[in-house]
Amino acid sequence: MDIGNRLYRAEQVQALDRQAIEGHGIAGYELMQRAGRAAFRALRARWPETGALTVCCGGGNNGGDGYVIARLALEAGMAVQLIALKDPGELAGDAATAAADWRNAGGSLADPEQPLSGEVIVDALLGTGLDRAPAGAYARLIERINASGKKVLAVDVPSGLDADTGMPLKPAVRADVTTTFIGNKRGLYTGQAGHWCGQRLYFDLATPAAIHADIDADARLLAVADLRGWLPPRRPDTHKGDLGHVLVIGGDAGMAGAPVLAGQAALRTGSGLVSLATRAEHVGLAPSVQPELMAHGVETLDALDALIERADALALGPGLGQGEWSRSLWQRALIGDQPRVVDADALNLLAADDGPIACPGAVLTPHPGEAARLLEVSAAKVQSDRFAAARALAERFSAVVVLKGHGTLIAEPGGAVAVCPYGNPAMASAGMGDALTGIIASLLGQGCKPFDAACCGVLAHALAGDAAASGRRQIVAGDLIDRLADILPA
């Protein structure tokens, strides 16, 4: 796995720093200079015409990185307005060295009350040392940076953003680019992080891979290259019977289309056969929009049992509703031998049930609101630490959990967590969840293990959404489903 796809908490990154310094003899100031060089190069690459910088330096090593950047800019002939929130003479360690080198290169402090004059602002106020909400001069400068309308490069972490959770301890710097070093931070990839980080660039600073040997990543970033490894190989003699039969259960009054979208997505993901168990009055819809789908009106549990019997995987929940009919199907289909996806109203029924029901072999796919109901907390609490929420759900229901939203998380009982860095706001519309349910159910039916099916499904869904959106403001689930074939390698 690419080192940059290993995601860490801030305290783990500090341990990596120590490993590099104490375990491999790379001086801290050498690392700081490499960080400053990497950030400066990224800045020049992104904004090559820039001739003037404003560099905002805090009182620790994040500020130290800023002094390195300021010195490099001076040496490149750029104008540099450096605003220091701590007297450089009071800095310690590597930051003091960086400030001295900046001073020797001709650097001088700007009046902090002057307007921010640079074309690009470098945020080197706070990094992994953030331990409280910015206040006083830090808060005021962060607000000035955000109000400036200038382009912003954040050093290591946007100041004020919690590197573990992706939540801003307001105020936080809103950056166009965030350059992060040595250990990629898990909080840069989920929740609100995309809003505060902008483009995320990771640099290993040429530290030896060995520094990662003794520190287990807290999570991993999904990568496009992972897709092929999860997809069952196709042999020349493969036939539809080899590719699984998915049964989609849902489609109560007013929601006839949800199971159809899930079924279409399952077909596009490679299922051999897809059936729908839905309201009798909805049976005609599926074949009329997708003749490859088989649809059955299920008004008795015997009829459902016969269909479940023939299925290799279930997609339980799209448009299921929460009435008597819904609940009877849900009770029959929630637990069983086949792997299953439990989504939408099937999750709400699960949350309404007294006491958690273990769902071994299942993949639960809540959005933050459904997750909140399942954990009996507020949605804000879920979003305040998505990693903790996803892990708690996986343990509570003994199931793989997909916590949807920006930076979707996939957690399995026992702790492994994957993060999806793809997807876009044009996907915020009804039906996207039904499509994801169908994709994951299809992969389960093709023999993928639940965690792999969830990771592969989330990744394919997000990549198809990016391909379908490509700059548009809004797409519908059908647009995404149509792009799955382009995303999934033969």
* Binding interface with ligand LP7C6HRI (CB under 6 A): 17, 21, 28, 31-32, 35, 58-63, 65, 126-134, 138, 155-157, 181-182
Residue 86 marked in a binding site: no
Nearest CB to ligand LP7C6HRI, comparing residues 33 and 269: 33
Peptide bond between residue 115 and the one before it cis (omega within 30 degrees of 0): no
Q: What's the length of the chain?
A: 490
User: Cα(22)–Cα(14) distance, rounded to whole angstroms?
Assistant: 12
When CB distances are held under 5 to 8 angstroms depending on the partner's kind, the choice from K ion, ligand LP7C6HRI, none that residue 32 binds is: ligand LP7C6HRI
Is 284 annotated in some ligand binding site? no
Complex with K ion: residue 155 or 267, whichever CB lies closer: 155
The answer to the question of whether 65 is labelled as a binding residue is: yes
Q: Which does 165 bind (CB under 5 to 8 A by kind): ligand LP7C6HRI, K ion, none?
A: none
Nearer to K ion, 19 or 159 (CB): 159
Q: How far is the CB of 156 from ligand LP7C6HRI (least distance, A)?
A: 3
DSSP conformational letter for 393: H
Which is closer to K ion, CB of 159 or CB of 446? 159
273 binds, among K ion, ligand LP7C6HRI, none (CB under 5 to 8 A by kind): none
| CA dist., res. 207 & res. 205, Å (int) | 5
What does 129 bind: ligand LP7C6HRI, K ion, none (CB cut-off 5 to 8 Å by kind)? ligand LP7C6HRI
Close Cβ partners of 12 (under 8 Å, ≥ 6 residues apart): 183, 215, 217, 218
The DSSP element (H or E) to which 84 belongs, if any, is strand 79-84
> The tokens of 310 are what?
């023939």
User: Beta strand pairing status for 409-411 and 417-419?
Assistant: antiparallel
For 309, the token pair is 């019997």
| 258 appears as a binding residue in the annotation | yes
**Distance in angstroms (rounded) separating the CA atoms of residues 382 and 374:** 10
Binding partner of 123, given ligand LP7C6HRI, K ion, none, CB within 5-8 angstroms per partner class: K ion
Ranges within 109-168 binding K ion (CB under 5 A): 123, 127, 154-155, 159
> Binding site annotation covers 130?
yes
Give the three-class secondary structure for 161: strand
Separation CA 302–CA 298 (nearest Å): 9
Q: Which does 128 bind (CB under 5 to 8 A by kind): ligand LP7C6HRI, K ion, none?
A: ligand LP7C6HRI
Flag whether 61 is marked binding: yes
222, 459 in Cβ contact below 8 A?
Answer: yes
CB of 84 to ligand LP7C6HRI, least distance (A): 13
DSSP H helix total and E strand total for the chain: 18, 18
Start-end of H helices in 446-476: 450-469
35 binds, among K ion, ligand LP7C6HRI, none (CB under 5 to 8 A by kind): ligand LP7C6HRI
Residues 6+ apart with CB under 8 A from 449: none
Token pair listed for 83: 């605003």
CB 364 within 8 A of CB 393: yes
| 139 or 476: CB nearest ligand LP7C6HRI | 139
Residues making up the annotated binding site for (6S)-NADPHX are: 61-65, 127-133, 138, 156, 258, 319, 367, 434
Write out the residues near K ion by the rule CB under 5 A: 123, 127, 154-155, 159
Residues making up the annotated binding site are: 61-65, 123, 127-133, 138, 156, 159, 258, 319, 367, 404-408, 433-434
